[in-house]
Amino acid sequence: MEIENPLESCTLLYVEDDREIRRRVTPFLASRVNTLWIAEDGRKGLELFEKRKPDIVVTDLNMPKMDGIKMSKAIRVFDKDTPIILTASYGDDYPLFAAIKAQINAFLPKPVKINDLLKTVEATARDAFAKHAQFRTQSALAQHYLAIEDSALLIYLDKRGRIERINEGMLQLLGYSHELLVGEPFENILYRDHNFNKYDKLFAAFEKRESWHGEVNILTQLDREYIFKATLIPIYDTMMPSYRFMMLLDDITEVVNYRKLLKNELDKTQDTLYEKIHFLEQYQNAINEGTAICRFLEDGTILKTDKRFEKIFGFRGDELVRRSFYQLCPNLEKDLRLEVAEAIKNRSLLRKRIKCKDMNGRVYVSDSVFIPIYRINGEIEEIISIHNDITDIINLNEEIKNTQKELLYILGDVVENRSQETGHHVKRVAEYSRILGKLAGLSEADTELLEIVAPMHDVGKIAIPDKILLKPGKLGPDEEKIIKEHTVIGGELFGNSERSFMKAARIVALEHHERYDGKGYPYGKKGSEIHIFGRIVAIADVFDALSVERSYKKAWPVEDIVEFMKRESGKMFDPNLIDLFIENLDLFLEVRRREIRISQ
């Protein structure tokens, strides 16, 4: 489509040493171009060109320091394409071949008439846009194709639904050789244990040359079933003429299987868990949602979005265009800009989980791929971002984690209340553990997991007899032996489950009384043999026990606690963790002050 006024989107560098001419010409140029830069001589003009990279240059010939021809030659050393318009008086003595050698695109005699200048600049802009449009389009199309080939799973089919080609990613997933599948009907690789009626609309799409979107179940060469979200797109060749199809696939096998597992787990729970319907609906919605696409410039300005992207963010397409993509992700804006810039610099893809906000402030979570697209000259043209909406899955997992966390807190409260300790103890231990885990360099996921399971450190006390657990005086040797068994009992309560939070809860229950010097229980582990979770909870548990008043003891002064923990560094406690704890003591004291206020 022809641009009505290409000057409106152009940037222009105007180089003129005559102040009066600049004063007269500048307002006319500034009102018609997107951005205008002005230089007073050729040297400053060259500096501005290197810094700003304008679309068009208008320069005078005779100027101090560096004339227009010399400046143009210097520009042409590293830029062969930017149009340059030269203004000069007929009397200027400068060889014609020098202007030709400098690859001047147009010449205007001085004194320059404003209308002639504007017409020449506009014609130059049209020529430049037309010249580069074809190269940009061809380059972008080629890169779009390669980007999709590289980042997606694709099957190409002829008009009758027979396989013409399968891209490398899909071949690796299915395990077939390319030769084995070429020419075969697509239906031959579908998993036949499923009702084929669900594919009626797919087969009809081949006949009607229409698009189709749905799920397909495909069998690999090793007889493994994969489940894909699939989009069938007709591709027309205007030269032949003929058509074929491209099928874009997204592997959702793990998500679907997890949904089935979740359903089975929920079916085993109480019927009063009304959330089960809500959970399953969220999973189904997450699977049914398609991939969203956005194209934007290096500075983030959105060029184009597809309907799914617009639906996710709640905007119409024209409301998104010219907005900054990065502003949709306010908490990530700075980091995401830097990471995209790094991908552009390295000519690589960026895969990242992002959080954005729609027009109503709703948070949207996406597994995204950012693909830089380059011009023929190697400069960045645009970025294509492909987004797979996993918001509902993340929210569902968050609900499950919060439920698990709440249940563990409740169980921890039961244990602590039974042993005549305040239920706030387990929450403080969890918070202390989270802070110390973060200071120790644990990942965000491990820090969160530790916070969830830390309340379970004394869960084994639930099986200790009251006469021992509640005894006000000193325990005898046999009684001490029995109460120490709470660590092993706690570990056994969580069994040998492979679930991450169960394994972690087992660790803190078993190891929070192990000592760094190897003199702890139940196994006498020492140093790094003790899991980092056990070493952290040991410090959190002792600090809270000493710093809070109980019915059988007074709270220790902070100075005495710090002195005790220093003495036990390398004995009871990991010395590196103790150093971190003491260096950041204010963080832990603030938690103590806050939680004690709440408990009162």
Look at residues 50, 44, 49 and name the one whose alpha carbon lies nearest to residue 22: 44
Average pLDDT of the chain to the nearest whole number: 80
Which pLDDT does position 258 carry in this prediction? 55
CA 503 to chain centre: 28
E-strand stretches of 358-475: 363-374, 380-389
> How do residues 280-314 score in pLDDT, each as one tens digit?
444 444 434 446 788 899 999 988 888 778 877 77
pLDDT higher at 424 or 265? 424
Q: The domain 152-251 belongs to what CATH superfamily?
A: PAS domain (3.30.450.20)
- Right CATH number for 6-132 from 3.40.50.300, 3.40.50.2300, 3.10.105.10, 3.30.70.590? 3.40.50.2300
Q: Is-contact 116 108, C-beta < 8 A? A: yes
Which pLDDT does position 508 carry in this prediction? 92
Please report, rounded to a whole number, the percentage of residues in the chain having pLDDT higher than 70: 78
Which pLDDT does position 284 carry in this prediction? 43
Per-residue pLDDT band for 147 (boundaries 50, 70, 90) equals low
Burial class from Cβ neighbours inside 10 Å (0-12, 13-18, 19+) for residue 43 reads middle
Which pLDDT does position 456 carry in this prediction? 82
Which of 164-173, 203-212, 473-482, 562-571 has maximum average pLDDT? 562-571
Which pLDDT does position 309 carry in this prediction? 82
> How do residues 126-139 score in pLDDT, each as one tens digit?
887 777 665 555 55
Q: Is-contact 41 64, C-beta < 8 A? A: yes
Inter-axis angle of helices 585-599 and 558-567, nearest 10: 130
> How do residues 354-396 score in pLDDT, each as one tens digit?
888 777 777 888 888 888 887 767 788 888 888 877 777 677 6
> How do residues 323-351 score in pLDDT, each as one tens digit?
888 888 887 888 889 999 998 888 888 88
Most distant pair of Cα atoms in the chain: their distance: 115
CA 395 to chain centre: 16
* Among 108-122, 403-417, 455-469, 546-560, the least confident range: 403-417
Which pLDDT does position 272 carry in this prediction? 38
- pLDDT (average), residues 505-510: 91
Instruction: Spell out the residues 6+ positions from residue 236 whose beta carbon is closer than 8 angstroms to its own.
Output: 242, 243
Q: Indicate whether 432 pLDDT > 90.
A: yes
Look at residues 480, 477, 485 and name the one whose alpha carbon lies nearest to residue 509: 485
d(CA 475, CA 411): 25
d(CA 141, CA 419): 70
Place of tokens 């003790």: 530
Instruction: Spell out the residues 6+ positions from residue 109 whose beta carbon is closer than 8 angstroms to its own.
Output: 87, 88, 89, 90
Torsion over CA of 291, 292, 295 and 298, rounded to 10 degrees?
-90
pTM comes to: 0.41
d(CA 77, CA 325): 35
Per-residue pLDDT band for 435 (boundaries 50, 70, 90) equals very high
- The 3-state secondary structure of 178-238 reads HHHHCCCEHHHHECCCCCHHHHHHHHHHHHHCCCEEEEEEEECCCCCEEEEEEEEEEEEEC
Q: Across the strands, what pairs with 13?
A: 37, 57
d(CA 548, CA 557): 10
Inter-axis angle of helices 42-52 and 68-78, nearest 10: 20
Q: Is-contact 283 255, C-beta < 8 A? A: yes
Burial class from Cβ neighbours inside 10 Å (0-12, 13-18, 19+) for residue 523 reads middle
The per-residue b/e assignment along 79-99, b for 16 or more CB within 10 angstroms, e otherwise, is eeebbbbbbbeeeeeeeeeeb
- CATH no. for 395-599: 1.10.3210.10
pLDDT higher at 316 or 49? 49
* CB hemisphere CA count around 406 (13 angstroms): 6
d(CA 349, CA 368): 10
Place of tokens 């639906």: 311
- pLDDT (average), residues 417-424: 52
Place of tokens 């989270």: 434
Q: Indicate whether 555 pLDDT > 60.
A: yes
Per DSSP bridges, beta strands 56-60 and 35-39 are unpaired
- The residue ranges of every structural domain in the chain are 6-132, 152-251, 289-389, 395-599
Q: Which two tokens stand for residue 486?
A: 């709470």
The per-residue b/e assignment along 2-13, b for 16 or more CB within 10 angstroms, e otherwise, is eeeebbeebebb
pLDDT higher at 407 or 202? 202
Which pLDDT does position 386 carry in this prediction? 82
3-state secondary structure of 590: helix
Q: What is the spatial order of strands in the sheet that 363-374 belongs to?
A: 302-305, 291-296, 380-389, 363-374, 350-357
Look at residues 518, 510, 455, 506 and name the one whose alpha carbon lies nearest to residue 485: 510
Per-residue pLDDT band for 269 (boundaries 50, 70, 90) equals very low
Q: Indicate whether 143 pLDDT > 60.
A: no
- CATH no. for 289-389: 3.30.450.20
What distance, in Å, lies between the first and last C-alpha atoms of the chain?
72
Instruction: Give how far Cα 407 sits from Cα of 389, 402, 461, 472, 592, Å.
Output: 29, 8, 17, 29, 23
Per DSSP bridges, beta strands 106-109 and 84-88 are parallel
Q: Across the strands, what pairs with 386?
A: 293, 369
Instruction: Give how far Cα 569 sits from Cα of 419, 441, 491, Å.
Output: 28, 19, 26
> How do residues 1-35 score in pLDDT, each as one tens digit?
444 567 788 899 999 999 999 999 999 999 888 89
* Among 153-162, 210-219, 237-246, 380-389, the least confident range: 237-246
d(CA 56, CA 24): 19
Question: One fold for both 152-251 and 289-389?
Answer: yes
Q: Indicate whether 227 pLDDT > 60.
A: yes
Q: Indicate whether 573 pLDDT > 80.
A: yes
DSSP states along 87-141: EE-TT----HHHHHHTT--EEEESSPPHHHHHHHHHHHHHHHHHHHHHHHHHHHH
Q: Indicate whether 504 pLDDT > 50.
A: yes
Phi, psi of 209 (to 5 degrees): 60, 45
- pLDDT (average), residues 515-519: 95
Q: Indicate whether 208 pLDDT > 80.
A: yes
* Among 431-445, 451-465, 504-518, the least confident range: 451-465
Q: Is-contact 287 390, C-beta < 8 A? A: no
pLDDT higher at 101 or 436? 436
- pLDDT (average), residues 83-94: 77
